[in-house]
Amino acid sequence: MVNILIVYRSQTGKTKKMAEAVARGANSIENVRATLKEAMETTLDDLLGCDGLAIGSPEYFGYMAGAIKDFFDRTYYQARGRKEIFKKPYVIFISAGNDGQGALRSIERICIGYQFKKVYDPVIAKGEIDETILAQCEELGKVIAAGCEARIY
């Protein structure tokens, strides 16, 4: 069974809706299980045990949510150099009040430090979460799940 970890932070519920859509997409692939986790509850074991990672954050002041940064801070040094982390596939989804680019850059910069492998373009929702955004999030989940299940990442 392939495990896709979806780690996210949501205060208003927008990013949570996006995370749930990513999970629906991932779960639609045979032999895949999506695990939804709030960033503050996500552990190093969760990260080490997943086959792929979807990171979801609201944009705050042109940056990722502090809870997402905290997740990275809590796991980085223990994960650094471990074979379970090297080239781990990841995707990003962002609920932006602005343009989302600052949050995206900050997450991508940290993922480079982990030596994760970006496998698909991010989904950035500017404003309300509509059906188009949710469909893009489902596709994001399907792409990472199918790639991990087929062992192409």
Per-residue pLDDT, averaged over 27-36, amounts to: 98
Q: What is the pLDDT of residue 122?
A: 98
Q: What is the pLDDT of residue 97?
A: 85
Query: 117: helix, coil or strand?
Result: strand
Q: For the chain, give the number of residues.
A: 153
In tens, the pLDDT along 76-124 reads 999 988 999 899 999 999 999 889 999 999 999 999 999 999 999 999 9
**pTM of the shown model:** 0.97
Whether the per-residue pLDDT at 25 is higher than 90: the answer is: yes
Strands 123-126 and 89-96, bridge-based pairing = parallel
Whether the per-residue pLDDT at 8 is higher than 90: the answer is: yes
Q: What is the pLDDT of residue 81?
A: 87
Give the pLDDT band (50/70/90) at residue 50: very high
Which has the minimum average pLDDT: 105-109, 126-130, 134-138?
126-130
Residues 79 and 106: beta-carbon distance below 8 Å: no
Residues 90 and 119: beta-carbon distance below 8 Å: yes
Nearest partner of 97 among 54, 64, 71, judged by Cα: 64
Taken in order of first residue, the domains within the chain and their CATH numbers are 2-149 (3.40.50.360)
Per-residue pLDDT, averaged over 62-82, amounts to: 95
Residues 18 and 48: beta-carbon distance below 8 Å: no
Give residue 148's Cα distance to chain centre.
14
Listed in order, strand segments (DSSP E) in 64-133 are 89-96, 117-118, 123-126
